[in-house]
Structure 1
Amino acid sequence: MKSPAKSKTLRVGLVQQPCTSDRDTNLKMSEDGIRAAKAGGAQLVMLQELHTSLYFCQHESTDLFDLAEPIPGNSTAWLGALAKELDIVIVGSLFEKRAPGLYHNTAVVLERDGSLAGVYRKMHIPDDPGYYEKFYFTPGDLGFTPIQTSVGKLGLLVCWDQWYPEAARLMALAGAELLLYPTAIGWNPADDADEQQRQRDAWVTIQRSHAVANGLPVLVANRVGYEGDPTKQTAGSQFWGHSFIAGPQGEFIAKSGEKADVLVADVDLGRSENVRRWWPFLRDRRIDAYGDLVKRYRD
C-alpha cells in the first residue's frame, strides 16, 4: 500500500481590519497586522480587499478615481519593503490605474526579496446597491492564472470572484496550491438579523465548498467596521469580518469574529495530495459533457 504524501507545512497569516478615510492610518493598521503575523511565525500574509482606503464603491463619483495608483507604484514599493524586511510573502489589494480612464481592482503579490511576483485583476465585477463596482473597475484580463512564489503557487481571486466555482476550479486546474480571497463584504444594516445570518452563512459555505471541490486550502481575509454611505441614500455597510482559514476538506483551521484581528495558522499543503487520492474529483470530471458551461443560459 502506498504511503501518504509527505506533509508540507506553511504558516499563514490574515489581517482583518477596519478602514478610515486616512490612507496613512490604514497603512499603519495593515503594517501592524503584518508584523503581528510575522511575529506569530507566518511565512505568507494576506490583507483584505482595497485595504488602503474606505470601500468607496458605495456610490458613483468620478473624483474617487483619484484614489487609484499605478502598479508598480508607491503601495507595491511599501509592501515590497515590508516583505523584504520581514522575509515573508505579502498579498495586497489595490485600486490600479492602468491608464487614464482604465482602472482595475487588482491583487498584488510581493516576494520575500521585495520584488513583485505577480498580479491578479478581479474578473467578476458586481453592481448592486452599495457595490457599484462596474463604475470603477474594468473586468480583469489576465485570466485565472496562479502566481508562483517561494512559498507555493497561489490561486489568487478577489471578493465577488468567491461566488463562482468556475474561478476556483480553473485556478486548481492550473496547479494552484492555495486559494486566496481578499474581500470586502458586509450587511446592509437595514436587513433583519435572520437575513444577515443567511447572507454570512452563504458566504462562508460557498468558499468552504471551493476547498472541498478542489481539495485545496482556502484563505479568506475580510474587512470589519461600519462605513456610511456619503450620499445618505443607503444605510451604509457593516462589514462582517469572519475571516477564516480552511483545509482541503473545508474544515476550519482558524476563524475570526467581527472585530479587528490577525489570524495565524498552519496549513499542510501536502495534505491536498491525500485528499485528492481519497476524493478524486478531478479524475472523474466529465469534461466531454461540460460544453454548455460556456453558455450564458441553456434555453
Structure 2
Amino acid sequence: MSAPTQQSLRVALVQQQNTAERDYNLTQSINGIREAAAQGAQLVVLQELHTGLYFCQSEDVEQFDLAETIPGQSTQVFGELAKELGVVIVASLFERRAAGLYHNTAVVLETDGSIAGKYRKMHIPDDPGFYEKFYFTPGDLGFEPIKTSLGTLGVLVCWDQWFPEAARLMATKGAEILIYPTAIGWDKNDDAAEQQRQQDAWVISQRAHAVANGVYVISANRTGFEADPSGHSAGIEFWGHSFIAGPQGELLAKACDDKPEVLVAELDLQRGEKVRRIWPYLRDRRIDHYGDLTKLYRD
C-alpha cells in the first residue's frame, strides 16, 4: 500500500431507487453526488447500472440500445460534475465497445473531469433473474487498481464481490479501497429467514475482504422493487443496505434497506498501515503452495 498523502478521506455512496426513465435516474445520481459533496465527500460511488432499471432479469435484444460508449454521454456528464465539485466519481455504465460487444463497466472520473481509468466486470453471473451473460462480455482489463489524486482504488462490480481472489489481486497491486457498485436483492418468493441469510452472507463476504486485505470497502447497492418484464419471475426487491467498512471489517456507515440514501463516512488513511502491521496476512501468505488455485477444482 502506498503511503497516503493525507490523513483522512471523506467518502460517500449514493443508494438509488430507479425507474425506466433515464433522465430521472441520471438526475437522482447527480443530486446524490451534489448532496455528498455538500457534506464534504471527496470520493463518491454510484450503484451498478444507475441510469436505468436492472434489465438483466430477462433476455431482450432491444436492451442493447441502452449501451453507450466510453468516452460518451455519461462520462461527459459525470466528468463535468467531478470537475465542478472537485470530487472523484465512480460511475457504472453499460459499455458499448463495438457492435455485438458490450461490457458492464465502472469508470473513475478525476477531479479535473478526466477519465482516470475503467474496470470491466470480470465475473459474469447467469442465474434466474440475473441473465448477465446474455448482455456482458467478461472483462479483459484484469484486476488493475486505478490511481487517482485521492489514492489507489480497487474498483470491482457486484458479482465480483463474492470472489476473494479478485479482492486479493487488487490489494496486492496496491489498492487502498475496494469499491463495489452493486445490484442485488431478494427473490420475493423466498421466506424472511432465507432473505436474511442471503443479505448477511453478502455483507459478511465483503467485510471479510476488508479484513483479509487490510483495506476499506465501499459497497453501493440499489433499493426498491423492480418487476421482471418477461413475467417469468416475481421480480427483484433490491435490498439496499449499502455500507462502508474499515480494514478490520468494522462498519463505519450503513444505509437502510428500503429507500434512497446518501451515505458518508470519514476514512483514517493511516489505519490500513497500522492494521497490516499487527495482522500481516500479506507477509505470511504461502504463495509457494498456492499454485493449485489456478485449477477450477482439485479432483
Category of TM-score, reference length = shorter chain: over 0.9
Per-residue deviation, 1:269 = 1.9
Matched, 1:190 2:153: no
Taking the aligned partners of 1:123 and 1:14, their CA distance within structure 2 comes to 22
Instruction: Report SS of the residue matched to 2:264.
Output: strand
Matched, 1:223 2:222: yes
Instruction: Report SS of the residue matched to 1:272.
Output: helix
Q: TM-score, normalised by structure 2?
A: 0.98
Taking the aligned partners of 1:12 and 1:105, their CA distance within structure 2 comes to 23
Instruction: State the partner residue of 2:245.
Output: 246
Q: TM-score, normalised by structure 1?
A: 0.98
User: What is the one-letter code of the residue matched to 1:277?
Assistant: R
Instruction: Report SS of the residue matched to 1:266.
Output: strand
Instruction: Report SS of the residue matched to 1:148.
Output: strand
Taking the aligned partners of 1:6 and 1:227, their CA distance within structure 2 comes to 42
Instruction: Report SS of the residue matched to 2:272.
Output: helix
Taking the aligned partners of 1:50 and 1:163, their CA distance within structure 2 comes to 18
Q: How does 1:117-132 map to 2 (within 5 A)?
A: 117-132=116-131
Taking the aligned partners of 1:6 and 1:110, their CA distance within structure 2 comes to 19
User: Residue by residue, what CA displacement relative to the aligned partner does 1:28-60 show, whole Å, maximum 9, x if unpaired?
Assistant: 111110001001000000000000110000000
Q: How does 1:170-189 map to 2 (within 5 A)?
A: 170-189=169-188
Instruction: Report SS of the residue matched to 1:20.
Output: coil
Instruction: Report SS of the residue matched to 1:141.
Output: coil
Per-residue deviation, 1:79 = 0.4
Per-residue deviation, 1:8 = 2.1
Instruction: State the partner residue of 1:273.
Output: 273
> RMSD of the alignment, in Å?
1.0
CA contact (8 A) 1:229 1:235 kept: yes
User: What is the one-letter code of the residue matched to 1:90?
Assistant: I
Q: How does 1:200-211 map to 2 (within 5 A)?
A: 200-211=199-210
Higher alpha-carbon deviation: 251-260 or 201-210: 251-260
User: What is the one-letter code of the residue matched to 1:36?
Assistant: E
Per-residue deviation, 1:9 = 0.5
Q: How does 1:4-15 map to 2 (within 5 A)?
A: 8-15=7-14
CA contact (8 A) 1:80 1:113 kept: yes
Q: How does 1:41-52 map to 2 (within 5 A)?
A: 41-52=40-51
CA contact (8 A) 1:184 1:239 kept: yes
Taking the aligned partners of 2:33 and 2:202, their CA distance within structure 1 comes to 25
User: Residue by residue, what CA displacement relative to the aligned partner does 1:205-255 show, whole Å, maximum 9, x if unpaired?
Assistant: 000000000000000000000000011100000000000000000000000
Instruction: Report SS of the residue matched to 2:14.
Output: strand
Identity %: 70
Matched, 1:237 2:221: no
Instruction: State the partner residue of 1:86.
Output: 85
Taking the aligned partners of 1:227 and 1:8, their CA distance within structure 2 comes to 41
Per-residue deviation, 1:82 = 0.4
Per-residue deviation, 1:7 = 7.2
Per-residue deviation, 1:6 = 9.6
Question: Any gaps of 5 or more consecutive residues in structure 2?
Answer: none
CA contact (8 A) 1:7 1:271 kept: no
Q: How does 1:74-113 map to 2 (within 5 A)?
A: 74-113=73-112
Question: Any gaps of 5 or more consecutive residues in structure 1?
Answer: none
Which consecutive segments of 4 or more residues in structure 1 shift more than 3 A? none
Taking the aligned partners of 2:265 and 2:175, their CA distance within structure 1 comes to 19
Distance 1:280 1:100, change over 3 A: same
Matched, 1:38 2:37: yes
